[in-house]
Chains A and B, each alone.
Chain A
Amino acid sequence: MLVVFFLYWFLFDKFLGECKHKLVLQNAFVVIASYVFYGWWDWRFLLLIAFTSLCSWMSGVLMQKVDNNNTAIDENKSVARKRKLITGANIVLNLAILATFKYYDFFVTEFAKLFHLSTDGILLKVILPVGISFYTFQALSYSIDVYRRKIEPTKDIVAFFAFISFFPQLVAGPIERATNLLPQFLKKREFDYATAVDGCRQILWGLFKKIVVADNCAVIVNQIFADYANMPSSLLIVGALFFTFQIYGDFSGYSDIAIGTAKLFGINLMQNFNMPYFSRDIAEFWRRWHISLNTWFRDYVYIPLGGSRTTKAKVVRNTFVIFLLSGLWHGANWTFVVWGAFHAMLFMPLILLGKNRKNMDVVASGKLFPTIKELVQMFVTFVLVVIGWVIFRSETIGDAMQYFSAMVSSDFIGLVKDITVFTVLKVFFFIGFMLLVEWYNRGKEHGFDINVIKRRWVRWCIYLLLVVIMVFFKSYDNSQFIYFQF
């Protein structure tokens, strides 16, 4: 990273001076660095991402060609038809690749199970390329936005490849929109001290959430979920709670690292998490959780289906569609689909009562503590979210149901080897610390915006403290980010 940073700013920015190809070279360097980073997993994946990038770039170029060959665009139906055809072909192609790698085996197996058929010789058994769901959606957003004329198609293939493969967000998002990220690769980037420092802070906070919170939660969560039938109900509750914070620490931690890293390169990525566990209802939760994916579904699926400006029945249908798709996006397993359906159902009362846009502001804005009402709302929402995560984390729907059943039927307290009260309390302490810091910064762009602390030495002591905590409380069992698998 350090080498890439210095080459990016010194070799391709300062050293090349006023060279007219400076931007192209800098973007080419981003592509090379990103491909090296991505190829580290498996070089064969590079062919796939290059193919996806090329097809999507070509779709833009072809649409522009169609436009250029016709002057009266709006009146020409054949132009619209051609544009639709090009976009449609690109969408089908990209989704076919995604479906083949991610869903083919799952659906074939389920189909075979349903009709008692054999799957011998027809399963692909291919490895899921890291981050395929993320960059495919990013590529699709470009194609659709060009079709909708929200963005001019680019002829700059290097900038486009950099947009698809930009290494900080390549494998686990945020899923960027062409309208936000692509123009940044088409103009000169300026190094900004304040942005870079803020990026470093965000990286540090992301690392803390991943190393200290998520990984320490994971150690306990893995033990509890692996043997839930023999766990006391108190630990099953702890398991559900810890997974709730594990997935948050893991995924929002990665997003913070990605966004912070991008800032160091003069690139601004979209916010992906906005303190979702302080939400007062499910609708607010979904406006704050994995924002880049949810807004993607909203813009490219929900609104084209009619969105909320249609009959109630269709709104209900549209809501279910995006939640089921969102669930399925996470992986080929019924648990994800049911998790999506569960959230869609939680959404229903808000949709039907027209209260899904009630809590748009930050909770307890301008105040230190929430009101009792807000506290109750947050608690109820949080509990519902936790229930959803148990479904998400379980191997099968049956496991999830048995987990819930064991939660209420087994003894409340019991002894379990390797999970001590001290270990659990320690993790609760880390979670509490994270929540406290994020509560304080809840109206801000990220959870560790400590610019309000005017004395530099105090800020530096806090940074050092975080590093020391990370060094001393790193868990050794888990290091892979959960969302890499999606």
Chain B
Amino acid sequence: MKKFITRILLFAIILLALAIPADIFLSKQFYETTDYRFAVWNDILKGNLDNDIIIMGSSRSWVQISPQILDTVLHTNTYNIGMDGSCIDRQIARYKIYRKYNKKPKLIIQNVDWLATLQNGTHTDYLLEQYYPYFYNADMREIVIPVERFDFFDLYIPLLRYYRYTNMKETIEMIRGLSNPEWSVEKGYKGMERKWNGSQLENIELLYFEYDKSSLEEFCDYLSECKKDSIQVIFVYTPAYVEGVQKVVNMSDFYNLFDSVANEYNVVVLDYLNNEICRDKAYFYNAMHLNKQGAEKFSQILANDIDSLGLLGK
């Protein structure tokens, strides 16, 4: 028995000894890419960002608010850390890392919608690969990775995550596609050059979005932290196509809720849900996302409003 266990352990050690350099090698392939899944993490972790404004939220921040336009209008430095498919727990985890590695922003433009009242938690595999290369970073292990569905084995067995949630073949294909301009971002923003593809909208039944109390509490804690750090937050209700909004029966409840949160934390709200953009399909590629043309138009409006209201210097 002793001999058997010794040999098995030895075999496991050899496997690990091969897996660790392979893991490091694979992870390094992601550190210089412009691919949206990794580029923002890379920028954040390099710690060179010195932005007055950061844009936070889900894909509705990522593809809808152009930092370049804000920079032009406001003569400032903006970065979009919006994350595709992210609820509030993912967004806040990324924010914490941003704060730990980079200079404090003056202003956070927080896109708020029902996703701010939900948690990705352990529910989803969506875009889990964005974390793979950063498992060697202690802060990522402590702050970000626990938010996701990774477990003990993912944390301590090299290569396993590359194999378990995608597979090696897909990982290699992902590395090959890292330079694909279609998915590259600049300052975290990706303008989607797409036309309206929301034709299935009429087939969607009426939706009722649930909200999670603990997520809302997490959101409020984050607002308190910002207040404590003297970082101004503004809520932006970014545009959504009007017929899409009508499909959600309790959409107004969410915004009433955010209005009351904004009151409580003394946050300015910029509501664009009734903006004329929301009535023109030409600006959207689906009911909840502006295309590049729409995003640029909206970013211009947003920048002007921030400027005219003097929110940056407030």
User: What is the interface of chain A, defined by CB distance below 8 A to chain B?
Assistant: 9, 191, 193, 196-197, 200, 460, 463-464, 467-468, 471-476
A474 pairs with B15, CB closer than 8 A? no
Given A467-B15, A471-B163: A193 touches B4 (CB 8 Å cut-off): yes
Task: Return the chain B residue nearest A195 by Cβ.
Answer: B4
B168 pairs with A474, CB closer than 8 A? yes
C-alpha gap A468/B163 in the complex (Å): 11
Where chain B touches its partner, the secondary structure class is: helix
A191 pairs with B1, CB closer than 8 A? yes
B14 pairs with A464, CB closer than 8 A? yes
A200 pairs with B168, CB closer than 8 A? no
Given A460-B11, A464-B15, A467-B15: A472 touches B168 (CB 8 Å cut-off): yes
Query: Among the listed B4, B15, B18, B170, which residue makes an inter-chain contact with A476, where contact means beta carbons less than 8 Å apart?
Result: B170
| 13 other A-B residue contacts (CB within 8 Å) besides A472-B169, A473-B169, A474-B168 | A191-B1, A191-B4, A193-B3, A200-B8, A464-B15, A467-B15, A468-B18, A471-B159, A471-B163, A473-B168, A474-B163, A474-B167, A475-B167
CB contacts (< 8 Å) of B169 on chain A: these are 472-474
A9 pairs with B14, CB closer than 8 A? no
Q: Does B124 contact A (CB under 8 A)?
A: no
Q: Does B29 contact A (CB under 8 A)?
A: no
Per-position 1/0 for B221-252, Cβ under 8 A of A = 00000000000000000000000000000000
Given A191-B1, A473-B169: A460 touches B14 (CB 8 Å cut-off): yes
Q: Does B166 contact A (CB under 8 A)?
A: yes
Task: Return the chain B residue nearest A9 by Cβ.
Answer: B1
B4 pairs with A464, CB closer than 8 A? no
Per-position 1/0 for B147-171, Cβ under 8 A of A = 0000000000001000100111110
A-B residue pair count with CB separations less than 8 angstroms: 33
Per the 8 Å Cβ criterion, residues 134-154 of B in contact with A are: none
Given A474-B168, A476-B167: A464 touches B159 (CB 8 Å cut-off): no
Instruction: Report the contact-size class of chain B (Cβ under 8 Å from the partner).
Output: 10 to 19
Most buried by B among A9, A191, A474, A476: A476
Task: Return the chain A residue nearest B18 by Cβ.
Answer: A464
C-alpha gap A197/B1 in the complex (Å): 11
C-alpha gap A467/B18 in the complex (Å): 11
* Cβ contacts A to B, 6 pairs, < 8 Å: A191-B4, A193-B1, A460-B14, A471-B163, A471-B168, A474-B169
C-alpha gap A197/B8 in the complex (Å): 9
CB contacts (< 8 Å) of A476 on chain B: these are 166-167, 170
CB contacts (< 8 Å) of B166 on chain A: these are 476
CB contacts (< 8 Å) of B167 on chain A: these are 474-476
CB contacts (< 8 Å) of A200 on chain B: these are 8
B168 pairs with A463, CB closer than 8 A? no
Most buried by A among B4, B8, B11, B166: B4
Per-position 1/0 for B162-182, Cβ under 8 A of A = 010011111000000000000
A115 smallest CB distance to B (angstroms): 40
CB contacts (< 8 Å) of A468 on chain B: these are 18
C-alpha gap A9/B1 in the complex (Å): 9
B4 pairs with A196, CB closer than 8 A? yes
B15 pairs with A197, CB closer than 8 A? no
C-alpha gap A39/B168 in the complex (Å): 32
B178 smallest CB distance to A (angstroms): 19
B199 smallest CB distance to A (angstroms): 23
C-alpha gap A209/B293 in the complex (Å): 52
C-alpha gap A233/B309 in the complex (Å): 70
Task: Return the chain B residue nearest A196 by Cβ.
Answer: B4
C-alpha gap A137/B8 in the complex (Å): 36
A420 smallest CB distance to B (angstroms): 13
CB contacts (< 8 Å) of B159 on chain A: these are 471
CB contacts (< 8 Å) of B3 on chain A: these are 193
B129 smallest CB distance to A (angstroms): 13
Per the 8 Å Cβ criterion, residues 1-21 of B in contact with A are: 1, 3-4, 7-8, 11, 14-15, 18
B10 smallest CB distance to A (angstroms): 9
A75 smallest CB distance to B (angstroms): 52
B1 pairs with A463, CB closer than 8 A? no
CB contacts (< 8 Å) of A467 on chain B: these are 15
Task: Return the chain B residue nearest A6 by Cβ.
Answer: B5
B303 smallest CB distance to A (angstroms): 44
CB contacts (< 8 Å) of A460 on chain B: these are 11, 14
CB contacts (< 8 Å) of B11 on chain A: these are 460, 463
Task: Return the chain A residue nearest B15 by Cβ.
Answer: A467
C-alpha gap A403/B2 in the complex (Å): 56
CB contacts (< 8 Å) of B18 on chain A: these are 464, 468
CB contacts (< 8 Å) of A193 on chain B: these are 1, 3-4
Task: Return the chain A residue nearest B2 by Cβ.
Answer: A193
A265 smallest CB distance to B (angstroms): 13
C-alpha gap A193/B2 in the complex (Å): 9
A11 smallest CB distance to B (angstroms): 13
B97 smallest CB distance to A (angstroms): 29
C-alpha gap A473/B169 in the complex (Å): 7
C-alpha gap A196/B7 in the complex (Å): 11
A215 smallest CB distance to B (angstroms): 10
Going nearest first, the 5 A-B pairs with the smallest beta carbon separation are: A472-B168, A476-B167, A191-B1, A196-B4, A474-B167
CB contacts (< 8 Å) of B4 on chain A: these are 191, 193, 196-197
CB contacts (< 8 Å) of A197 on chain B: these are 4, 7
CB contacts (< 8 Å) of B168 on chain A: these are 471-474
C-alpha gap A463/B170 in the complex (Å): 24
CB contacts (< 8 Å) of A473 on chain B: these are 168-169
C-alpha gap A184/B166 in the complex (Å): 42
CB contacts (< 8 Å) of B163 on chain A: these are 471, 474
C-alpha gap A467/B3 in the complex (Å): 22
B17 smallest CB distance to A (angstroms): 11
A15 smallest CB distance to B (angstroms): 13
B13 smallest CB distance to A (angstroms): 12
C-alpha gap A191/B163 in the complex (Å): 33
B198 smallest CB distance to A (angstroms): 26
CB contacts (< 8 Å) of B8 on chain A: these are 200
C-alpha gap A396/B233 in the complex (Å): 63
A422 smallest CB distance to B (angstroms): 12
B4 smallest CB distance to A (angstroms): 5
A202 smallest CB distance to B (angstroms): 15
Task: Return the chain B residue nearest A191 by Cβ.
Answer: B1
CB contacts (< 8 Å) of A475 on chain B: these are 167
C-alpha gap A196/B168 in the complex (Å): 30
CB contacts (< 8 Å) of B1 on chain A: these are 9, 191, 193
CB contacts (< 8 Å) of A464 on chain B: these are 14-15, 18
C-alpha gap A460/B8 in the complex (Å): 11
